[in-house]
Amino acid sequence: MIQAVVNAFKLPDLRKKIIFTMVILLLYRLAAHIPIPGADVTRLRLLFENNQLLGLLDVFSGGAMANFSVIAMGVYPYITAQIILQLLMPLIPKLEQLYKEGEEGQRKFNRYTHYLTVPMAALNAFGQLAIMRNEQVLPAFDGSLNAWLLMISSVVTMTAGTIFAVWLGELISERGIGNGVSIIIFGGIAARIPQSVGRNLVQNPWTLVFFVLVTIITVAVIVIVQEGQRRIPVQYGKRVLAMRGNRLRMAGGQSTHIPIRVNTAGMIPLIFAQSFMIFPGTIASYFVYSQTKVIADVATVVRNVFSPQGAFYWVMYFFLVIGFTYFYTDVVFRQQNLPDVLQRQGGFVPGIRPGKKTEEYLNGVVQRITLVGALFLAVVAILPFLVRDVTETGTMLITSTGLLIVVGVVLDTMKQLEAQLLMRHYEGFIK
């Protein structure tokens, strides 16, 4: 692998792409330290230590939200817009048709994603500012006219920050190495590892050793599952192209396969499940100190039930991850419409009749193989709960969602570098 890195830097064009990616990441990290005016840093730190939802959002902001910078939302409004449009495809046939129209359709689809990102970013910015104001992180937002003008300017600034972050990500995708949006998130997660290591080292060095071992084992399992796939054999029938005298000119008859991944859903089920579990407790926490006793009591019960400190939270989290994995995998598989594509191209699965039978067979394979991926994601999701009884803290070096992002981005980037090296007859990273 070291020699492959050396070979990559020997190639002028590949070296420029790697350096360009690093420069863009550095620029993003610099912007992540430009705070919104008037933020109370001490209260902000305490708020993030006690609020799991904000910790999840901080992952997708690339670590910028913990500083409440101008790009505090990072690229997650863009990710949210992508997920919304993907979920709307089965409901809006024109949108699904546009997505399948090739490069031009993909360009229009991305444009709609950008349009949806702007209102999503503005709403998220207003919500974050409102939460910070209620938690007294922004003392300057006192309800006066000047405070409202400051609120409006902050919403515009944070929305522009998200668009800036998305633009940087797209620059990496076009001129650098890897998926730009994913690499920006990866950079934020990686930047927080030294701080996490230092905190665990001060608290308990043996805990740090245990977390390092757990992280290494988890990464190895993630790589195996992420790369795991079931290959469905496909045979294409021969077709007559032309007559040459008494001979027929035939084409086709090739054999290939359809790779069905064990984990088709990626990290999306973790995001859905964690957001679903954290949201009730977060809302209830704002009514705990209500002057109405009934409301305060109900809010206290809800907050305690949905607290990450309780077993109920992790049990529900486990089953929700499994449920959302099946749901999102089904959505993605239906969008691919593999049975119809095979039938139009003259392909068939040996021993299975084209059409409805092929659809039933592929759905059965997807459901069985998804069970492995769903259980894998669910176990990774509850790792902090599993290690909590072994150590004095449930805080891992990298969160389960962060681990999936890091491993996924590294594998994708390595494959792209390998493809570039193989085109120039160098040995790649993955053998």
Q: What is the pLDDT of residue 128?
A: 76
Helix axes 180-191, 52-60, angle to 10 degrees: 130
The pLDDT tens digits for 376-409 are: 888 888 877 777 655 544 455 566 677 777 887 8
Give the pLDDT confidence of 31-63 residue by residue, as tens digits.
888 877 767 767 776 776 666 556 656 665 656
pLDDT digit string, tens, across residues 101-148: 777 777 888 888 899 999 988 888 887 777 777 667 776 666 676 777
Cα 280 to the center of its chain, rounded Å: 22
Rounded distance between C-alpha atoms, residue 167 and residue 184, angstroms: 11
Cα separation, 228 vs 372, in Å, equals 10
- Taking alpha carbons only, the member of 73, 38, 39 closest to residue 54 is 73
Which of 118-122, 191-195, 228-232, 348-352 has the largest mean confidence? Answer: 118-122
DSSP state, residue 425: T
> If you average pLDDT over residues 192-216, what whole number do you get?
69
- For residue 218, what pLDDT is reported? 78
- At 237 the pLDDT is 66
With left for phi above 0 and alpha for psi between -120 and 50, is residue 154 left, alpha or beta? alpha
Question: What would the DSSP string read from start to end of 146-208?
Answer: HHHHHHHHHHHHHHHHHHHHHHHHHHHHHHSSS-HHHHHHHHHHHHTHHHHHHHHHHH-HHHH
- Of 230 and 48, the one with more pLDDT: 230
Note the pLDDT of residue 391: 52
Mean pLDDT calculated for residue range 199-213: 68
Least confident of 208-222, 293-307, 322-336: 208-222
The whole-number pLDDT of residue 57 equals: 62
The verdict on pTM exceeding 0.85 is no
* pLDDT in the model for residue 422: 75
Q: 166 with 181: CB under 8 angstroms?
A: yes
**pLDDT higher than threshold 60 for residue 367:** yes
Q: Is 307 left (phi over 0), alpha (psi -120 to 50) or beta?
A: beta
Q: How far apart are CA 275 and CA 56, in angstroms?
A: 8
Give the pLDDT confidence score for residue 62 in this predicted structure: 56
Which segment, 79-83, 159-163, 300-304, 325-329, is predicted with the most confidence on average? 159-163
Mean pLDDT, the chain, as a whole number? 77
pLDDT of residue 118: 92
Q: What is the pLDDT of residue 167?
A: 92
Lookup: tokens for 205: 């060095």
Which domains, and CATH codes, for the chain?
A: 1-191+413-431 (1.10.3370.10), 228-398 (1.10.3370.10)
Residue 54's pLDDT is 64
Instruction: Work out whether strand 247-252 and strand 238-244 pair parallel, antiparallel, or are unpaired.
Output: antiparallel
